[in-house]
Structure 1
Amino acid sequence: MTNSTSSSSAARSAAADRQRLPESLRATALMEEDVAWSLDVDGERDGDQFDRSERASLRRVAGLSTELQDVTEVEYRQLRLERVVLVGVWTDGTVQDAENSLAELAALAETAGALVLDGVIQRRDKPDPATYIGSGKAQELRDIVLESGADTVVCDGELSPGQLIHLEDVVKVKVVDRTALILDIFAQHAKSREGKAQVALAQMQYMLPRLRGWGQSLSRQMGGGGSGSAGGGMATRGPGETKIETDRRRIREKMAKLRREIAEMKTSRDLKRQERRRHQVPSVAIAGYTNAGKSSLLNRLTGAGVLVENALFATLDPTVRRAETPSGRLYTLADTVGFVRHLPHHLVEAFRSTMEEVADADLVLHVVDGAHPVPEEQLAAVREVLRDVGAADVPEIVVINKADAADPLVVQRLLTHEKHAIAVSARSGEGVAELLALLDAELPRPRVEIEALVPYTHGALVSRVHVGGEVISEEHTAEGTLLKARVHDQLAAELGPFALAVQR
């Protein structure tokens, strides 16, 4: 009992002293207070007391500021960038998980072009339904915003329209949630007509329930019709269609138009995909977390020359390239949009047609950043999206990229836990030869083994065997080309008139 009383006294003392401490020592005092609260009679952590102490504070997260040293770049950024404070609610997991999540939000904000000034997290059972972090903590956040000179608050979660409005009313600056931030990055990076249409559709889906109106003062017309008085007659007076209703109707019309356009563009891609299937060319899709190195790997495997940038969501438009295995088999390799934890469902829906490249592939190269603090979380986030687009059953090779910069123990842990995994470095080329050999072994093989004597007048058929089949042996004789190969059913039927032996 004495120990418990002393620990409570220590906590109160620490709280009182904190008011008198200079700013630089407040974080240290806060940690000491947490320790005091979290001791029970045996000197061990008590979960309930620990929770109370966490709820009593907004925890500053170190190392998030993206202040730049280069003067010219700073001046450029001051003209075009927003100055942001990040805030997250920590509902489960460890404090390290919460800080990793906020660090990822900082990277997203930086990619969107923001200057991150500060970041705080708060421990709660669940986000506050009114202001996301609670009214008292919202006031504390307002002080941090004033102190740092920020003009925007970015929340690490998807906020309801009510939460956005209430939090903005307290902090007096613009509030943006994680979903809006990701949509903004996609809007900046979309280059193709289809990519722009998909992003616009996702933005409208997000914006529709978040339009803010100002009541009847924005009425556009009188309700009802009728002749006579200026008011329109008895029982016809009313607000009519307000400005916000007009905006919502126009947005819905634009969304319907965008869906039609995306469906038309999807038809073109489906035709190309059907053509590849007709020629029985195996397809491989590169999927993975954003900035895991997918485009770098595509360039390393095919020499495609796709844009490679150390930024989140640098690739939005799928790139399909032709490649060849070490044994000479042709296949297609598709680079896809990167995924992220809690990828907005609006984006998943809008980009579903693009993500079908993964669902229709014969094999997925699931690229994960081996140098990331928690690569297992990246794997789980990507697999969740793959399930959403119907690609959960596609065979998968886990490619642990950036192995040259990763902790060897982390790489070994991933290799142990994942059934089909290989460590590579797209930058240095380490492990790429082994990856190609594994890819060759895992690609679906033609199931008909045929031996045929093809006349020289049918040289095009021999070429097709080289492209769409797997040549076991080839010999040029006086009568023609003696081929032994594995081919698909359609090609086997065309080789039928010249077949010497067929084995299925």
Structure 2
Amino acid sequence: MMEQKAITVGVNLNNQPDFNESMEELRNLAAACDVLVVGELTQKASRVNVSHYIGTGKIEELKALLAQHEANIAIFNDELSPSQIRNLESSLQCKVIDRTILILDIFAERARTREAQLQVEIAELQYMLPRLIGLRESLGRQSGGVGTKNKGAGEKKLELDRRRIEEKITALNKELETLVSGRQIQRKQRHKNKIPVVGLVGYTNAGKSSMMNALMETYHPTSHKQVLAKDMLFATLETSVRSIRLPDNKSFLLTDTVGFVRNLPHHLIKAFRSTLEEVAESDLLVHVVDYSNPEYEQLIAVTNQTLKELGADHIPVVYAYNKAELTGSEWPENEQDIVYVSARQKIGIDELVARIRDRIFDDYIQCELLIPFEQGRLISYFNENAHIMSTSYEENGTKLSLECKRADYEKYKHDVILL
């Protein structure tokens, strides 16, 4: 297949403060799709050109850049309308793709579970539906490669007419609903068992999966339930749930979800809503931040905005400023809601868990119970599910000084003697 070389194109609307970072991210997205970015064209404007996204003069500049670098793709930093794709391809005589299709491609490449694959395919079809004509011409010009490399988004799909694509979306949605309802049953069960849920959230590549692995290795060193942690965009697309049991027998569930990104395509937010709902059901969010990134404050803002869109902005948050060892400066002091950590070096993990524990285990009480000998089963229950501080044996039973869930205390107080 011909080497894929691209020019990235962006319009800086009204001097956006994060425009340069957004363009750099576009280059990273292209790299994740094995496309070599050989040049960049930007334009300042108060609004995008309705017909071609960029002005006529810039079209000529872009043509010259494509020829100069022998590039065969123009990648645009925003989602293009169907008519913009058609007009640009006609003017430039090369393949035109936008930020959305790049992200969809990465998701399609990385999706491992059936649920993630369904979500991506639905998002791709919804994106393609209004763009059939432009995309069909593009495929004729150069098959394969970015924007068309997935079996789910190749020529076959585009030969279907709109009605058949709509039918396909409906069928996929039905299959997805079945998988989602299975997970909702699991969530209800967790809720019933009153196990607190802590959700890891953050920008893509902030280190959420590394954080989950660090917690697993700290509290369950013999467990082999590691999750994939790689230094790349969108390494995690499926939700992983792990149970973390602390030395004092308190336990919580930790969920790791897909990372957020600037301008995450709305097709994807819609398709991944069921996965992202895990976030909205959490009792506490741990917002993992790549503290070594000079733009980390903007990335926090993007994540917070996405949480708002998901209706999860009311959940209490602890910030884990990860990769603190890469900043080259002195290790900062922890603040009330901010813990500085290194998931890779496992520094700051205990402090982070202490914050988590303070927030989610507020329904525990300390008490002294005398358990009659005939209720021996309760001793093994509390040994398993509570934190026993001392045990002594009296004439009429076993005396326990312990910290336990209020619900357990209420449930068993009639079977024991309260001291």
Give the TM-score normalised by the residue count of structure 1: 0.72
Shift of 1:206: 1.0
Residues 460 and 244 (structure 1), Cα distance of their counterparts in 2 relative to 1, 3 Å cut: same
Residues 144 and 323 (structure 1), Cα distance of their counterparts in 2 relative to 1, 3 Å cut: same
3-state SS in 2 of match to 1:146: helix
Shift of 1:279: 2.1
Instruction: State the Cα RMSD in Å.
Output: 2.7
Match of 1:365 among 259, 283, 286: 286
Q: Which has the higher contact order (CA 8 A, sep 6+)?
A: 2
Name 2:149's counterpart in structure 1. none
Match of 1:316 among 215, 227, 237: 237
Residues 111 and 462 (structure 1), Cα distance of their counterparts in 2 relative to 1, 3 Å cut: farther
Match of 1:265, as an amino acid? Answer: L
Q: Contact 1:108/1:181 (CA < 8 Å) preserved in 2?
A: yes
Q: Contact 1:325/1:440 (CA < 8 Å) preserved in 2?
A: no
Match of 1:272 among 186, 192, 203: 186
2:173 is the alignment partner of 1:251 = no
Name 1:496's counterpart in structure 2. 413
Match of 1:427, as an amino acid? Answer: R
Unaligned segments of structure 1, at least 5 residues: 1-78, 215-242
Name 1:385's counterpart in structure 2. 306
Name 1:395's counterpart in structure 2. 316
Give the Cα separation in 2 of the matches to 1:307 and 1:300. 12
Name 1:211's counterpart in structure 2. 132
2:4 is the alignment partner of 1:82 = yes
Name 1:342's counterpart in structure 2. 263
Residues 275 and 179 (structure 1), Cα distance of their counterparts in 2 relative to 1, 3 Å cut: same
Name 2:198's counterpart in structure 1. 284
Residues 171 and 331 (structure 1), Cα distance of their counterparts in 2 relative to 1, 3 Å cut: same
Size of the aligned set, in residue pairs, is: 390
Name 2:213's counterpart in structure 1. 299
3-state SS in 2 of match to 1:117: strand
3-state SS in 2 of match to 1:251: helix
Name 1:436's counterpart in structure 2. 353
Give the Cα separation in 1 of the matches to 2:296 and 2:417. 53
Shift of 1:326: 5.3
Name 1:374's counterpart in structure 2. 295
2:90 is the alignment partner of 1:169 = yes
3-state SS in 1 of match to 2:292: coil
3-state SS in 2 of match to 1:393: coil
What are the superposed Cα offsets for residues 434-481 of structure 1, whole Å, 9 maximum, x if unpaired?
112222212232255554333456555445545555x36341425444
Residues 360 and 457 (structure 1), Cα distance of their counterparts in 2 relative to 1, 3 Å cut: farther
Give the Cα separation in 2 of the matches to 1:193 and 1:381. 28
Q: Contact 1:452/1:495 (CA < 8 Å) preserved in 2?
A: no
Shift of 1:88: 0.9
Match of 2:50 among 123, 126, 129: 129
3-state SS in 1 of match to 2:58: helix
Give the Cα separation in 1 of the matches to 2:163 and 2:86. 22
Match of 2:174, as an amino acid? Answer: R
Name 2:141's counterpart in structure 1. none
Match of 1:442, as an amino acid? Answer: R
Q: Contact 2:203/2:261 (CA < 8 Å) preserved in 1?
A: yes
Residues 176 and 247 (structure 1), Cα distance of their counterparts in 2 relative to 1, 3 Å cut: same
Name 1:325's counterpart in structure 2. 246
Give the TM-score normalised by the residue count of structure 2: 0.85
**Farther-moved stretch of structure 1 (187-196 vs 110-119):** 110-119
Q: Contact 2:9/2:77 (CA < 8 Å) preserved in 1?
A: yes
Name 2:391's counterpart in structure 1. 475
3-state SS in 1 of match to 2:62: helix
3-state SS in 2 of match to 1:404: helix
The 5 A counterparts of 1:424-463 are: 424-446=341-363, 450-455=367-372, 458=375, 460-463=377-380
Give the Cα separation in 2 of the matches to 1:110 and 1:463. 56
Q: Contact 1:326/1:436 (CA < 8 Å) preserved in 2?
A: no
Give the Cα separation in 1 of the matches to 2:57 and 2:340. 48
Give the Cα separation in 1 of the matches to 2:233 and 2:66. 26
Larger Rg computed on CA atoms: 1
Give the Cα separation in 1 of the matches to 2:113 and 2:375. 41
What are the superposed Cα offsets for residues 182-206 of structure 1, whole Å, 9 maximum, x if unpaired?
0110000000010101111111111
Give the Cα separation in 1 of the matches to 2:3 and 2:50. 30
What is the percent sequence identity of the aligned residues? 37
Shift of 1:488: 4.4
